[in-house]
Amino acid sequence: VPPCKTQFFMPGTTSSEDAGQSFSLSVATPLTQVDLFLRRVGPVAQNITVKITNDNPGFNMPGTTVYSTGTITASSLGTTFAWFSVPMTMVSLAPNTTYWIVLDVPFNTATGSTYYEMGADSGGGYGTGIVNHGKFGGNSSTWSYTPTTCLGGTYSGHDAYFKVYVGGYSGLISAVNVG
């Protein structure tokens, strides 16, 4: 169990149903996969579309340009925290540029306690990014630091548990005769 957790995809909300974690890389490289530490609470039926987006500078929120996508099916998420690997459409990312991992979920019409939670760390272990929540494609007023429930209190200014896999292109060599 992570020391902290942040809720997103709240029932009946329009402004806080998505989550995002900003990150940057030190070298130009292709991104191929993202791993996220997640669980569901209640009978959530909506899939999560994971997106790699640009940054909206000065607003601590994702931009609207989508560079890569992947999907987590609702049925694959359990009620205990676990790492979920999300193969992404390969995209080459520039160094020293802020990007966002966005967890985009359709509007939640459910009532009661049905939502997703993402494992998080209140210690700010990843100094180059931050986790926020809001509505993807919404204006800056819909995105804010996500209150996080941790052992010993509630915090903001934390990071989600995430892994980014980079490197390597698959390729094809053709029209080569050997022998």
SS3 call for 140 = helix
- The helix or strand, by DSSP H or E, that contains position 145, with its residue range, turns out to be strand 144-145
Task: Burial-class residue 167 by CB neighbours within 10 Å (0-12, 13-18, 19+).
Answer: exposed
**What pTM value is reported for the model?**
0.83
pLDDT at 157: 63
- Give pLDDT tens digits for 140-162: 556 765 555 655 555 556 788 89
Query: Which residues face 165 on adjacent strands?
Result: 33
pLDDT at 104: 87
Q: At residue 9, does pLDDT exceed 90?
A: no
- Both tokens of residue 48? 């999560």
* Residue 96 contacts residue 28 (beta carbons within 8 Å): no
Q: At residue 167, does pLDDT exceed 60?
A: yes
Average pLDDT, the chain: 79
Q: What is the DSSP letter of 113?
A: S
Handedness of CA 151, 147, 61, 9 (dihedral sign): positive
CB-facing half-sphere around the CA of 5: CA atoms within 13 A: 16
Phi, psi of 76 (to 5 degrees): -85, -15
Q: What is the DSSP letter of 14?
A: S
SS3 call for 142 = helix
- Percent of the chain topping pLDDT 70: 69
- Give pLDDT tens digits for 74-121: 899 999 999 999 999 989 999 999 999 999 887 656 555 777 888 877
CA 30 to CA 95: how far, in whole Å? 11
